[in-house]
Amino acid sequence: MSVLDTYSPAERSEILRRYRNLIEVWHTRKDVTDRWMVRKAFRLAVDAHKDMRRKTGEPYIYHPLEVATIAAGEIGLGRTSIICALLHDVVEDTEYKLTDITAMFGEQIARIIDGLTKIDTMVEGSDVQSLQAENFRKVLLTLSYDVRVILIKLADRLHNMRTLDAMPPTKQWKIASETSYLFAPLAYRLGLYAIKSELEDLALKYTEPSVYESVKKNLEESRDERNQMIEAFLVPVRESLDRMDIKGRILIAEKSASSIWSRMKEKEIPFADVYDTFVVRFIVDGSPETEKVDCWRVYAAITSVYKPNNERLHDWISLPKANGYESLHATVMSKAGKWIEIQIRSDRMDEVAEKGYAAYWKYKDAPTSESGLDEWLTKVREVLSSEDASALEFLNNFRLNLFSDEIFVFTPKGEMISLPKGSTALDFAFNIHTNLGSKCIGANVNHKLVQLNHPLKTGDQVEIITSKVQFPKEEWFDFIITARAKSRLREAIREHRKTYKEPGREKLEAHFKQLNIEASKANITRLIDAEGLSGLVDLYYYLATDKLTLQKIKDVFKEKPAGGSGFFKYLISPFMRHKPIEEVANQELDKNENTDIKADILPEETTDLGYTVASCCNPIPGDDVVALAFQGEPMHIHRVNCPKAIDLMSQYGNNIIKAKWKQKEDIVFLAGLKITGFDSIGFIHRLTTIISIDLGLNIRNLQLESSSGVVVAYITVYVQNLKSLKEVIERLQKLEGIRNVKRLERLSEAGK
């Protein structure tokens, strides 16, 4: 009996069609052994998933087939990855075990599949705060040994996003939030630009459907006019390229809806004012030895016809991005008076830009290849190996250090060092060496003396100034941002404090003797816990430096512990010989039980929870909202597109509950507006007349900023719902002299 016999004839035909498509898009080596191994994995997956269906009602096997097709066709992976993609849900969802996979396909494939298998339960009483964060950490840790786990996970996520329509809204928000929070930035960092853009677009589609549809509609309606303008732009450019005998091809790439929406929000402009809704891409024919020169020749050919904007020239050829991306970006003014964004790259650069990590390895041994992606993966492994915090802290640290934009700075000898954007002079010092950071008292940045917390920018040359009397300080954690600096500072502080062991031990012994307290393990533990210290090293340091005094110790032991008998519980018994402090100090101290709320575990009944409206996004009736419930707290109501809500949903997806406004006529909500226009006599009078007199609404606060004839007004007003707020905005936009009316995401922006 064939494994396909359990499916209907139409389903069998579709499964075979998808399998043949997978083989067709698989462009890496395909010898007889490779094909046989993939066929074997396919048959196992078909059999393992034969009784499973997706939410759409389709056979589940469609999903691993599509994931494998994305891995092979869109990412460019080979046999091992295709097999893992076909089997990625077998261990998680069926009776097969990892040992079975190892026996059939070997240790390497089993290890990758283990990395793709989710942790599906939390152990009761564990200190796990977020199941999603734990799963993210498990996947990210695989970067330390095999990046293919992440690449297959991205293929899996992309197919899930493409088929998200069948899911209920809360599930859509959870998955879309995870995608924005982690998977899209990961795709970007691994150079998978097409996948990153599609993930962001699909996330926007489910978190802000009206925005997504509006941008897509505007792109569609303006496409013909845009194409005519581009064609007119290219006519003289082609002539110039022909005169210079430059061979290549020209592509027109439309920007993604999510990137256009980000630009509209950032610049506070409508779609019509976004000039870079597309990019003209020039891909040059040429050898790796001459490709850089060839790209600059194309730039010369274009700028001989059109004037460039030098502020928007970005040379990613001489200085590739951390993920290996290379391209020359420029913006030129067309004859039609419109800015046109252009990108110039070679065939090799284009393949790396489209296929990311997979293409990068294809060219890795070439003499002209760059090591940007190697450096990024080295940083990844450093963060992974040095991180011992909770999964949530780990995740936030990972995103801060490895998803942020980069800056490139130079040592006094001209060596270039890349750091996350926002890094300080002290981050730079610790990046060089722990001792340099520990003894740092300042820096010369471009021959100008600056403080330790001075933020660096690309092109800075940094010379660190040290002093023998300087020592590492805890307050430095307030402004350093890199994982390497934090890890090295933590270790430096610990080593510094160890030098206070003897004087600290002597003071502890003297204080305990003076208070007639036994130097027992329990008493030392109580003192450490009461002062919130991390261990004996800190205890001795605080004693030696008089941060922990005799009076504080006395106060600690005056407090009555649970089940104890007051201060006398800690007094030395005259009939017992107490251990010397050295002996107690060498014992391992017990740690308090973790009392953090387990946020993924919700009470069964959540209907009686109160609610609080989040100040980060200020939702009002009519907004699409999501409720997040945590133990012992009222529900937190956020707008679905709120950045903080997206972060929370990506980490606490099981805490999402359905929420719906119950409109009451006697309740009003505070909303904020930013109004930009031309300053004129009666400006405020016209605004307040419409809001207070015509619409009968109460203004809570109004602030005005005027400069060079342009006025910006910030207003908070009480409204009943979104419809009421939209009416205010529409009426104000019709006023003469008003350029833009925008709803504020946070009321604090209006000076609340």
> What is the CB neighbour count within 10 angstroms for residue 496?
15
pLDDT of residue 38: 93
% of the chain with per-residue pLDDT over 70: 81
Q: pLDDT at position 438, please? A: 92
Average pLDDT score over residue span 233-237: 93
| pLDDT grade for 375, boundaries at 50, 70 and 90 | low
Residue 483's Cβ-count burial label (10 Å; 0-12, 13-18, 19+) is: buried
CB-based contact 380:143 (threshold 8 Å): yes
Is 266 in a helix, a strand, or coil?
helix
- Whole-angstrom distance, CA of residue 180 vs CA of residue 184: 6
d(CA 424, CA 421): 9
Q: What tokens does 235 get?
A: 């006519």
- Residue 745 gets which letter from DSSP? S
Cβ-based neighbours of 87, under 8 Å, separated by 6 or more: 41, 44, 45, 48, 64, 101, 105, 109, 113
CA distances from 158 to 127, 207, 606 (A): 31, 16, 33
Assign 467 a pLDDT band (cuts: 50, 70, 90): very high
For residues 540 and 546, give the distance between their C-alpha atoms in angstroms, rounded to a whole number: 10
Break the chain into its structural domains and give their ranges: 9-163, 212-360, 405-481, 500-555, 611-655, 669-749
The whole-chain average pLDDT of the chain stands at 81
346: exposed, middle or buried (Cβ count in 10 Å: 0-12, 13-18, 19+) = buried
* One-letter-per-residue 3-state SS of 474-507: HHHHHCCCCHHHHHHHHHHHHHHHHCCHHHHHHH
Write down the pLDDT at residue 7: 79
- Residue range 15-46, pLDDT digits in tens: 999 999 999 998 877 788 889 999 999 999 99
User: 264: pLDDT confidence band, cut at 50, 70 and 90?
Assistant: confident
| Biggest CA-to-CA distance, the chain | 104
CA angle 219, 179, 389 (to 5 degrees): 145
Asked if 347 contacts 283 with a C-beta cutoff of 8 angstroms, the reply is yes
Instruction: Please say if the pLDDT value at position 519 is more than 50.
Output: yes
Predicted local distance difference test score (pLDDT) of residue 602: 39
Burial of 686 (0-12, 13-18, 19+ CB in 10 A): middle
| Token couple for 193 | 């630009």
Report which residue type is found at 438. S
Structure tokens at 296: 């600059």
Out of 3.30.460.10, 2.40.50.100, 3.40.50.300, 3.40.640.10, select the CATH number for domain 212-360: 3.30.460.10
* Strand-strand pairing, 699-707 and 710-719: antiparallel
Min mean pLDDT across 130-139, 176-185, 409-418, 544-553 is at 130-139
Which tens digit of pLDDT belongs to each residue from 400-454? 655 667 788 999 988 888 888 889 999 999 989 989 999 999 999 999 999 999 9
pLDDT at 512: 84
Per-residue pLDDT at 19: 93
Domains 212-360 and 405-481 alike in fold:
no
Can you name the CATH fold of 405-481? Ubiquitin-like (UB roll) (3.10.20)
Structurally, at CATH architecture level, domain 669-749 sits in 2-Layer Sandwich (3.30)
Gap between the Cα atoms of 430 and 368, Å rounded:
31
pLDDT attached to residue 383 = 59
- The reported pLDDT for the residue numbered 340 is 92
Question: What's the CATH number for 9-163?
Answer: 1.10.3210.10
Over 60: is that where the pLDDT of 388 sits? no
Report field, pTM of the whole predicted structure over 0.75: no
Cβ contact 428:409 at 8 Å:
yes
The per-residue pLDDT for 69 is 95
402-411, 476-485, 526-535: which is most confident: 476-485
Strand, coil or helix: 708: coil
- Which residues are known catalytic residues? 92-93
- Which of 73-77, 135-139, 376-380, 733-737 shows the lowest per-residue confidence on average (mean pLDDT)? 376-380
Question: Rounded to whole angstroms, what are the CA distances from 668 to 218, 237, 724?
Answer: 34, 58, 10
Position 400 scores a pLDDT of 60
pLDDT of residue 127: 43
Residue 414, sorted as left (phi over 0), alpha (psi -120 to 50) or beta, turns out to be left
Q: Which helix (H) or strand (E) holds 410?
A: strand 406-410
